[in-house]
Amino acid sequence: MHLPNDASTVANLNQPIGRLALANGMVYTGRAFGAVGRGIVARAEVVFNTAVSGYQESLTDPSYTGQILVQTFPMIGNTGTNGEDVESNKVQVSGLIVRELARLYSNYRADDGLSAYLARYGVLGLEGIDTRALTKHLRTSGSMAGALTDRTDLDDAELVEAARSAPSMAGQNLVPLVGCASRLSWSETLGEWSPGGDTEKERFRVVALDCGAKANILRNLAERGCDLLVVPYDTPAADIRRLFEAGEVDGLFISNGPGDPAAVQKTINTLRDLMSGDADTVIPTFGICLGHQLLALAAGAKTYKLKFGHRGINQPVLNTQNQRVEITSQNHGFAVDPESLKAVGGVVTHRHLNDGTVAGFRLREKPVFSVQYHPEASPGPHDAGYLFDAFVTSMAERRRKRESRAQVR
């Protein structure tokens, strides 16, 4: 089914025509921007984000690898882009769909417009389509593969076939595309965005398994006194355990990332090994988003694909420990099965209030916990910052125990 826009609207702006085709045969026509004229046919899963702001953070979030992003807010680009509000070193999305691209941007921190920014990274955008209708279609039919192009030599039927040939997100391990290739240290904090507080923080050493970590997660950990050793996702458990047993590491963090968690088998194996000991030998561990799912799988639970996922900065979550509601930022298409989690000793600590899915858990007998959402994104704005503090507290308690045992000996 072909869904054209008003012809005069498309023609008057002197932009090339662009199209988005979905695997179920729907075709949306609009105006191309960004990396136009390069023969791009982007094939990826089409998903939507309900956030009103933060589009540059979304574009550079490694968790969006392998996805064409639809922004539901009607105008995108009015604050431009800058070199600071990024979550990685490049634009990660395969394409961007908006209702209207702002022709002028206004922000004292901006140094470029959105179209030029996408062009710099070779990413195609599409504007002028009814993103509300597209979002409703994805909610009804579920996220699906799509193909985005400004090429005129492909007809609609060929573009639909291109969409159908896109790889399914289920079963894809995309982590190797976004994680670091070798060890690196991280010390950057929140800088001018710091909430302040104690400047004489106790220092903790944390190994961060990089599955596509957002920079602001690492900044939040560093802000709380963590000296971070960021390592590849496939780092063997023996290497991490050796550091912990030698007293060189206090905690383990598992980051967000893209793709199907069940396909990231090397990380699951590492975590399963590290979690196999008793409570006194397991490293204090914290996971976010994909890290949450990987920890659940390592514990023996199951994950499943959501119909259209949770993506936005207005997602309500209930903390079941204190009955408080947090407004959270989320970006994921898979979830943890609660019954399988309960069967392996997991305790659900947070639930998504829109659909009741698991938004956080801890292991009953071990210092391991995680959340499905992004506490570093601060949509609340500080509703979920306590999670980083809880991780620091867990490491401090373990350090005290180790010091106490050493004194006894």
CA distance linking residue 318 with residue 172, whole number of Å: 30
Question: Is 220 within a domain?
Answer: yes
**Average pLDDT taken over every residue of the chain:** 93
Does one domain contain both 333 and 292? Answer: yes
Question: Considering the domain boundaries, does residue 181 fall inside one?
Answer: yes
Q: Is the pLDDT of residue 9 over 60?
A: no
Q: Give the rounded percent of residues in the chain with a pLDDT score beyond 70.
A: 95
Q: Out of 87, 127, 223, 376, which one is annotated catalytic?
A: 376
DSSP strand pairing (324-336 vs 346-352): unpaired
pLDDT level of residue 7 (50, 70, 90 thresholds): very low
pLDDT at 377: 84
Question: Do 138 and 276 reside in the same domain of the chain?
Answer: no
pLDDT for 198: 64
Catalytic status, residue 310: no
CATH number, domain containing residue 242: 3.40.50.880
For residue 13, what pLDDT is reported?
Answer: 55
- Does a structural domain hold residue 183? yes
Domain boundary among 130, 164, 198: 164
Preceding amide of 381 cis, omega within 30? yes
Q: State residue 184's pLDDT score.
A: 96
Same domain, 218 and 297: yes
pLDDT score for 407: 72
Better pLDDT: 10 or 373: 373
Is residue 170 in a domain? Answer: no
383-404, pLDDT tens digit by residue?
A: 899 999 999 999 999 999 888 7
Domain holding 235, by residue range, is 175-408
Q: Tokens for 127, please give them.
A: 């504007």
Which residues neighbour 255 within 8 Å (Cβ) at sequence distance 6 or greater?
A: 208, 209, 210, 211, 212, 213, 214, 217, 287, 288, 289, 290, 291
Residue 169 lies in a domain: no
Do 240 and 103 lie in one domain? The reply is no
User: What sign for the dihedral angle of Cα 28, 29, 33, 36?
Assistant: positive
Catalytic residue among 45, 289, 292, 332: 289
Task: Tell whether 309 and 193 lie within a shared domain.
Answer: yes
pTM over 0.85: yes
Burial 29-47 (b: 16+ CB within 10 A, else e): bbbbbbbbeeebbbbbbbb
180 is catalytic: no
Residue 348 and residue 266 in one domain: yes
For 189, the token pair is 């904090």
**pLDDT the model gives residue 10:** 39
Instruction: Mark whether 198 and 262 lie in a shared domain.
Output: yes
- Clarify whether 211 is annotated catalytic: no
Asked if residue 135 and residue 59 are part of one domain, the reply reads yes
Total number of domains constituting the chain: 2
Q: Which residues contact 131 (CB under 8 A, 6 or more apart)?
A: 48, 70, 71, 72, 74, 97, 98, 99
Assign 379 a pLDDT band (cuts: 50, 70, 90): confident
pLDDT interval class at 409 (50, 70, 90): low
The reply to whether 233 and 139 lie within a common domain is no
Lowest mean pLDDT among 65-74, 81-90, 191-200, 327-336: 191-200
Q: Give yes or no: residues 92 and 207 share one domain.
A: no
- The three-class DSSP label of residue 311 is strand
The confidence score (pLDDT) of residue 8 equals: 33
- Per residue in 39-77, pLDDT (tens digit) is 999 999 999 999 999 999 999 999 999 999 999 999 999
Residues 6 or more apart from 91 whose CB is under 8 A from it? 59, 60, 117, 118, 121, 123
pLDDT of residue 85: 92
pLDDT attached to residue 313? 93
Rounded Cα distance between 6 and 11, Å, is: 9
Confidence of residue 120 (pLDDT cuts 50, 70, 90): very high
∠ CA 278-282-285, rounded to 5°: 140
* 208, β-bridge pairs: 230, 253
Q: In degrees, to the nearest 5, what angle opens at C-alpha 351 toward C-alphas 267 and 74?
A: 90
Residues 160 and 211 in one domain: no
Query: Residue 408 has what pLDDT?
Result: 67
Considering the domain boundaries, does residue 238 fall inside one? yes
